[in-house]
């Protein structure tokens, strides 16, 4: 029994340390929304994007973040409604690099197992 518990804990530690759940959540999120004709080619493309940005920077909304209506770039520039998404916006040009900055942190995926 101890070996099974140790193996299970080792597997969970491996998955967590390599951020495997976040990577798969990210892939599943964009697959469900975009529904590509060739899902294998699509996943290969997204995996190369993950490799480029680093798996440590991936979460469930990596590839679908801009689809959220509150994160629409036009809305973020012009609408001030006090929503929690206003906090993640800084006007373009403040940092001089032309990119939006954000202190927004998505909810983290927690690895669970069925009993």
pLDDT of 51-99, one tens digit each?
Answer: 999 998 888 888 887 776 666 667 667 767 766 666 665 443 334 344 4
Read off the pLDDT of residues 11-52 as tens digits, 9 standing for 90 and up.
999 999 999 998 998 999 889 888 999 999 999 999 999 999
Can you tell me the distance from the alpha carbon of 8 to that of 20, in angstroms, rounded to the nearest whole number?
Answer: 15
CA 69 and chain centroid, separation:
16
- Which of 104, 36, 96, 38 lies closest to 65 in space, CA to CA? 104
Can you tell me the distance from the alpha carbon of 105 to that of 79, in angstroms, rounded to the nearest whole number?
Answer: 21
Tell me whether residue 74 is in a domain.
yes
Tell me whether residue 25 is in a domain.
yes
Tell me whether residue 107 is in a domain.
no
Tell me whether residue 71 is in a domain.
yes
Read off the pLDDT of residues 91-115 as tens digits, 9 standing for 90 and up.
433 343 444 445 555 555 555 555 5
- How many structural domains is the chain composed of? 1
Tell me whether residue 98 is in a domain.
no
With 0.85 as the threshold, say if the pTM is over it: no
Can you tell me the distance from the alpha carbon of 12 to that of 66, in angstroms, rounded to the nearest whole number?
Answer: 31
Q: Is 43 exposed, middle or buried (0-12, 13-18, 19+ CB in 10 A)?
A: middle
- Structural domain harbouring 61: 2-88
Tell me whether residue 94 is in a domain.
no
């Amino acid at each position: 029994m101890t070996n099974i518990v140790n193996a299970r804990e080792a597997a969970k530690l491996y998955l967590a340390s390599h951020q495997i759940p976040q990577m798969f959540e990210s892939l599943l999120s964009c697959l469900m929304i975009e529904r590509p004709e060739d899902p294998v080619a699509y996943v290969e493309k997204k995996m190369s994007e993950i490799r480029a940005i680093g798996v440590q920077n991936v979460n469930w909304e990596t590839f679908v973040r801009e689809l959220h209506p509150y994160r629409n770039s036009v809305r973020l520039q012009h609408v001030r409604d006090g929503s929690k998404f206003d906090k993640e916006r800084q006007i373009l040009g403040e940092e001089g690099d032309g990119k939006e900055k954000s202190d927004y942190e998505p909810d983290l995926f927690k690895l669970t197992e069925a009993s």
